[in-house]
Amino acid sequence: MLMKADASLVQIVDTATADAARRSGDWLKCRPGCTQCCIGVFAISQLDVMRLREGLHELEQSDPARAASVRRRADESRQRLSTQFPGDPRTGILDESDEDQFEDFANDEPCPVLDPATGTCDLYAHRPMTCRVFGPPIRSEDGIGVCELCFDGAGEDEILAAELKIDWTEQEEALNGKVEKSTGRHGQTIVAFAVGIESPPL
């Protein structure tokens, strides 16, 4: 039931992102092999964790060797990051009371789901929401943000014309709440704690 609801949400997000990409035209430089947004740790929700683990389970059925590589990279990443992890390194849950601490954490750490040989995501169809919306201009409390590789030289009108309209956040938050209630795990984590061999069970 939760996976079906998530699939519907993903379809909404992907449709909106595809529309923003179309409006972005040549300003959008995102291509397979561009890994700028795959370097540096970022917070993911328990909904993202559920989706990633479902994708990894499917990969274990179709390509066990690749799945084992993802788990190995995740465990190696978690071991590197545990000593300075801004949260509980046993559970992987971030301490969200100190956002500044997280901003300076592991900015050079590659995502363990990134295949270093191909520069592509091994769980692309199941990637977190942050990954799905990265690229097109997106509005936050700090204004409109864009990837530093995209929209280089673009004017404000061109950037605003390509803005990704985010109108699914309430639906996403509600579904994440249901996942947290179902799993008993609350709060955000990072990819390395979501898909490693020794990841806490859902």
Q: What is the pLDDT of residues 172-197, one digit of tens each?
A: 999 999 999 999 999 999 999 999 87
Write out pLDDT tens, residues 31-56. 888 998 999 999 999 999 999 999 99
Estimate the share of the chain in helix, then strand, then coil, as percent rounded to the nearest 5: 50, 10, 40
Write out pLDDT tens, residues 12-32. 999 999 999 999 999 999 888
Question: Domain boundaries in the chain?
Answer: 2-195
Distance CA 147, CA 136 (A): 8
Average pLDDT over residues 145-161: 89
Cβ burial 80-105 (10 Å sphere, 16+ → b, else e): ebeeebbbeeeebbbeeeeeeebeeb
Distance CA 101, CA 99 (A): 5
pLDDT at 63: 97
* Pure H helices in 33-86: 46-62, 64-81
Q: Rounded to two decimals, what is the model's pTM?
A: 0.93
The torsion defined by the Cα of 21, 25, 26 and 28, in degrees rounded to 10, comes to -20
Could you tell me the CA-to-CA distances from 140 to 103, 163, 180, 184 in Å, in that order? 16, 11, 25, 29
